[in-house]
Amino acid sequence: MYIRELKVDGYGALHGLNLELDAAVNVIYGPNEAGKSTLLRFVRSMLYGFPNRKDMVERGEPMSGGRHGGRIVISDEAGESWLLERYAERGGEITLRDGVGAVRVLGQAEWERWMLGGISERLFRQLFSVSLNELHELRTLQGEEIGNYLYNAGLAGGSSLSAARRQVGSEMDRLFRPKGTTQEMNRLLISMKEIETEIRSSRDAVRQYGEAREGLEQVELELSSLESGFPELRLQAAKLQSAYDLREWWLKREALLEADAGLRRSLPDPSAQLLAEGTAQIWSEMKSKRDEAKTKLSVEQSALQDLRSRRELLDWDERRVIALPEAERLEALREVVTAKREERSELEAERRTLDETVQATLSRISAEWGEAELQAFGGLAAEREQVRKLQQAWEETERGTMSYHAELRKLERQKEVLRSEESYSISGNLNEGDQAGSVTSREALSADDYFVPRTKPALLQAWHRAEDARRNYDRARTSVRPSRTTANSRGTSDDKARGSALLFLIAGLLGAAAIAIFFFLSGSNGVETSMAYGVFGGLLLLSALVVFLAFSSSSSSSRSGSRTRSRATSSAEEGQSNPSADYNVNLQLYRKQFNESLRQLMNDPQSAATSLIQENSDYAPLDIQEHSEMEDTVWQKLREAVHERLEQLEEVERGESKRQELRNRMHELQVEKDLVERDSEELGRQADALHASWRNWLEVRKLPLHLAPDNLPELLGMAEQGQAALRQRQRVTERSDTLSHAIKEFEQAASRLMETCPPPVGLGSEIGRAVQWIYGDSVKHLARKEEAGHLERELAGADAAVRSAGAELETAAYRIERLLQEAGGATEAELEHRLRIDQRSAEIRLEAREIQLRLESGRDSESRDQLYALLQQHDEASLFTLLSDRKAVLAQEEERRSGLLDRRGRLTQELERLRVESELEDKRQRLLELQSKLELLSERYAILAISDKLIARTKAVYEEERQPEVLRRASRYFKQMTNGAYCRIIAPGDTKALLAETEDRRVLDSIFLSRGTQEQLYLSMRFALCAAASPDHPLPLLLDDLFVHFDESRLIQSLPILQDLAKERQVILFTCHRHVARTIAEGIPTARAVTLGE
Amino acid sequence: MGVPFTFVHAADLHLDSPFKGLTKVPAAVRERLRESTFVALGKLSEVVEKEKADFVVLAGDLFDVADRSLRAQLRLQRALGTMTAHGARVFIVHGNHDPESGRQARLDWPEGVFAFGSATVGCIPAYSRKGDLVAHVYGISYPTPSVTDNLALRFKKREGAPFHLALLHANVDGDPSHDNYAPCKLEELITSGFDYWALGHVHDRRVLSEYPHVVYAGNMQGRSIRETGGKGAYVVSVNEAGSIEMKFKDLADVLWREIPVSIEGMESEQQLKNRLLSALEAVRGEAGGRPSVVRIKLEGRGMLHERLLQPNVAEEWIEELREWLGEPEETDAWIWPESIAVRTGGIVRLESVAEEEGFVGELIRGGLAATEHSDASRELLDEAMETLRKQPKIREWLESRSHEERSQWIVQALELSVSLLREDRDGADNRS
Note whether B203 and B290 are same-domain residues. no
The yes-or-no verdict on residue A1091 having pLDDT over 70 is yes
Query: CA of B338: how far to CAs of B257, B310, B317, in Å?
Result: 9, 19, 11
Q: What is the DSSP letter of B118?
A: S
CB nearest to B397's CB, from A929, A938, A955: A938
Assess contact for B233 and B215: CB atoms under 8 A. Answer: no
Among residues 207-246 of chain A, which lie with CB inside 8 Å of chain B? 207, 209-210
B385 Cβ under 8 Å from any chain A Cβ: yes
Q: Does A187 reside within a domain? A: no
Note whether A812 and A863 are same-domain residues. no
Note whether B23 and B129 are same-domain residues. yes
Contact list, A92 vs chain B (CB under 8 Å) = 431-432
CB nearest to A163's CB, from B362, B409, B425: B425
Interface touch B363/A949, C-beta < 8 Å: no
Find residue A83's DSSP bridge partners.
A73, A97
CA end-to-end span of chain A: 28
What is the predicted ipTM?
Answer: 0.76
Interface touch A155/B359, C-beta < 8 Å: yes
pLDDT the model gives residue A960: 63
B420 Cβ under 8 Å from any chain A Cβ: yes
Q: What is the DSSP letter of A602?
A: B
The alpha carbon torsion through B224, B225, B228, B234 (nearest 10 deg) reads -20
B426 Cβ under 8 Å from any chain A Cβ: yes
- List the strands of the sheet with B335-342, edge to edge: B255-262, B292-299, B335-342
For residue B350, give every residue at least 6 positions away whose Cβ sits within 8 Å of its Cβ, in sequence order, or none: B364, B368, B411, B414, B415, B418
B316 Cβ under 8 Å from any chain A Cβ: no
Q: What is the DSSP letter of A1073?
A: -
Q: Which residue segment(s) compose the domain that B328 sits in? A: 254-347
The yes-or-no verdict on residue A163 having pLDDT over 80 is no
Note whether B261 and B202 are same-domain residues. no
What's the maximum distance between 2 C-alpha atoms anywhere in chain A? 236
Contact list, B22 vs chain A (CB under 8 Å) = 928-929, 932
B429 Cβ under 8 Å from any chain A Cβ: yes
SS3 A189: helix
CA gap A468, A815 in Å, rounded: 159
Residue pLDDT, tens place only, A396-455: 888 888 888 888 888 888 888 888 877 776 665 555 444 444 444 444 444 445 666 777
Pick from A141-150, A603-612, A701-710: least confident: A141-150
CA gap A425, A446 in Å, rounded: 25
The yes-or-no verdict on residue A993 having pLDDT over 90 is no
Q: Does A703 reside within a domain? A: no
CA gap A856, A104 in Å, rounded: 140
| Cα dihedral sign, B303-B305-B309-B313 | positive
Assess contact for B94 and B128: CB atoms under 8 A. Answer: no
The yes-or-no verdict on residue B212 having pLDDT over 70 is yes
Question: Radius of gyration of chain A from Cα atoms?
Answer: 95
Note whether A237 and A225 are same-domain residues. yes
Residue pLDDT, tens place only, A863-919: 888 888 888 888 888 888 888 888 898 888 889 889 989 988 988 888 888 888 777
User: Taking CA A209 as the corner, what is the angle to CA A205 and CA A211, rounded to the nearest 5 degrees?
Assistant: 115
Q: Based on the structure, what is the number of domains in chain B?
A: 3
Query: How many other C-beta atoms are found inside a 10 Å radius of the C-beta of residue B132?
Result: 14
Note whether B187 and B315 are same-domain residues. no
CA gap B198, A185 in Å, rounded: 43
SS3 B129: coil
Assess contact for A735 and A347: CB atoms under 8 A. Answer: yes
Note whether A777 and A844 are same-domain residues. yes
Note whether A771 and A842 are same-domain residues. yes
Phi, psi of B336 (to 5 degrees): -115, 110
**Which among A480, A432, A857 is positioned nearest to A658, based on CA atoms?**
A432
The yes-or-no verdict on residue A347 having pLDDT over 80 is yes
Among residues 155-184 of chain B, which lie with CB inside 8 Å of chain A? none
Percent residues over pLDDT 90 in chain A: 0
A-B CB pairs within 8 A amount to 194
pLDDT the model gives residue A991: 59
Residue pLDDT, tens place only, A89-103: 877 678 888 877 788
Q: Does A610 reside within a domain? A: no
Which residue among B319, B347, B375 closes a domain? Answer: B347
Among residues 122-181 of chain A, which lie with CB inside 8 Å of chain B? 122, 152-157, 159-161, 163-164, 167-168, 171, 176-178
Interface touch A120/B429, C-beta < 8 Å: yes
pLDDT the model gives residue B234: 93
- Among A539-553, A603-617, B207-221, B344-358, the range of highest mean pLDDT: B207-221
Contact list, A155 vs chain B (CB under 8 Å) = 358-359, 421
Note whether B87 and B186 are same-domain residues. yes
Note whether B422 and B303 are same-domain residues. no
Which residue among B347, B370, B397 closes a domain? Answer: B347
Q: Does A1042 reside within a domain? A: no
Q: Per the omega criterion (within 30 degrees of 0), is the bond before B212 cis?
A: yes
Give the residue from chain B lying closest to A154, CA to CA: B358
Q: Which residue segment(s) compose the domain that A859 sits in? A: 200-262+855-917
SS3 B197: strand
CA gap A819, A822 in Å, rounded: 5
Q: What is the DSSP letter of A767?
A: H
Note whether B224 and B362 are same-domain residues. no
For residue A1030, give every residue at least 6 positions away whose Cβ sits within 8 Å of its Cβ, in sequence order, or none: A117, A119, A128, A1065
Residue pLDDT, tens place only, B269-309: 888 888 888 888 888 888 888 888 888 888 888 888 878 87
Mean pLDDT within B307-324: 82
A1022 CA: distance to closest CA in chain B (Å)? 22
Pairing of strands B55-59, B89-93: parallel
Assess contact for A1018 and A973: CB atoms under 8 A. Answer: no
Where are the extended beta strands (E) located within B263-305?
A: 292-299
Q: Does A1072 reside within a domain? A: no
Interface touch A938/B394, C-beta < 8 Å: yes
Note whether A844 and A873 are same-domain residues. no
pLDDT the model gives residue B387: 81
Note whether B41 and B188 are same-domain residues. yes
User: Taking CA A285 as the corner, what is the angle to CA A281 and CA A288, rounded to the nearest 5 degrees?
Assistant: 145
B337 CA: distance to closest CA in chain A (Å)? 14
Interface touch B421/A155, C-beta < 8 Å: yes
CB nearest to A928's CB, from B19, B391, B420: B19
Query: CA of A8: how far to CAs of A17, A62, A104, in Å?
Result: 5, 10, 20
Find residue B216's DSSP bridge partners.
B199, B206
Which residue among B229, B250, B271 closes a domain? Answer: B250
Note whether B170 and B308 are same-domain residues. no
Assess contact for A819 and A831: CB atoms under 8 A. Answer: yes
Assess contact for A496 and A551: CB atoms under 8 A. Answer: no
Assess contact for B53 and B6: CB atoms under 8 A. Answer: yes
A868 Cβ under 8 Å from any chain B Cβ: no
pLDDT the model gives residue A586: 75
Query: CA of A801: how far to CAs of A293, A750, A814, A924, A1092, in Å?
Result: 12, 50, 20, 121, 193
Which residue among A819, A852, A885 closes a domain? Answer: A852
CB nearest to B409's CB, from A943, A948, A957: A943
The alpha carbon torsion through B65, B67, B69, B74 (nearest 10 deg) reads 110
Note whether B141 and B171 are same-domain residues. yes
Find residue B196's DSSP bridge partners.
B165, B213
pLDDT the model gives residue B423: 54
Percent residues over pLDDT 70 in chain A: 79
The yes-or-no verdict on residue A554 having pLDDT over 60 is no
**Which among B78, B47, B99 is positioned nearest to B220, based on CA atoms?**
B47
Find residue B261's DSSP bridge partners.
B298
Pairing of strands B232-238, B5-10: antiparallel
A26 CA: distance to closest CA in chain B (Å)? 28
* Domain CATH number, residue B101: 3.60.21.10
Residue pLDDT, tens place only, B412-428: 888 888 877 765 433 33
Q: Does A700 reside within a domain? A: no
Note whether A799 and A868 are same-domain residues. no
Q: Does A365 reside within a domain? A: no
Find residue A614's DSSP bridge partners.
none
Q: Does A381 reside within a domain? A: no
| Cα dihedral sign, A562-A566-A568-A569 | positive
Note whether B126 and B144 are same-domain residues. yes
Assess contact for A294 and A809: CB atoms under 8 A. Answer: yes
pLDDT the model gives residue A876: 82
pLDDT the model gives residue B140: 92
Mean pLDDT estimate for chain A: 77
Which residue among A852, A879, A902 closes a domain? Answer: A852
Assess contact for A87 and A68: CB atoms under 8 A. Answer: yes
pLDDT the model gives residue B138: 93
pLDDT the model gives residue A1031: 67
Assess contact for A125 and A116: CB atoms under 8 A. Answer: no
pLDDT the model gives residue B196: 92
pLDDT the model gives residue A440: 43
Phi, psi of A694 (to 5 degrees): -60, -50
User: Which H/E stretch holds residue A986?
Assistant: strand A982-986
Residue pLDDT, tens place only, A996-1037: 888 888 888 888 888 888 888 888 888 887 777 766 778 888
A933 Cβ under 8 Å from any chain B Cβ: yes
B216 pLDDT tier (thresholds 50, 70, 90)? very high
Q: Based on the structure, what is the number of domains in chain A?
A: 2
CA gap B23, A137 in Å, rounded: 48
Residue pLDDT, tens place only, B91-143: 999 888 888 876 555 677 888 888 888 888 889 999 988 888 889 999 999 88
On the 0-12 / 13-18 / 19+ scale of CB atoms within 10 A, B160 is: exposed
Q: Choose between A509 and A661: higher pLDDT.
A: A661
Total residues belonging to chain A: 1094
Note whether B224 and B343 are same-domain residues. no
pLDDT the model gives residue A483: 45
Residue pLDDT, tens place only, B138-162: 999 988 888 888 888 888 888 888 8
Residue pLDDT, tens place only, A212-266: 888 888 888 988 888 888 888 888 888 888 888 888 888 888 888 888 888 888 7
CA gap B89, B112 in Å, rounded: 5
Find residue B247's DSSP bridge partners.
B235
Note whether A803 and A843 are same-domain residues. yes
A484 pLDDT tier (thresholds 50, 70, 90)? very low
Mean pLDDT within A180-205: 81
Residue pLDDT, tens place only, A880-891: 888 888 889 888
Assess contact for B398 and B406: CB atoms under 8 A. Answer: no
A958 CA: distance to closest CA in chain B (Å)? 8
CB nearest to A189's CB, from B21, B393, B429: B393
CA gap B279, B259 in Å, rounded: 8
A1079 Cβ under 8 Å from any chain B Cβ: no
CA gap A726, A359 in Å, rounded: 10
Residue pLDDT, tens place only, B394-404: 888 888 888 88
User: Which H/E stretch holds residue A813?
Assistant: helix A767-822
Which residue among A917, A935, A959 closes a domain? Answer: A917
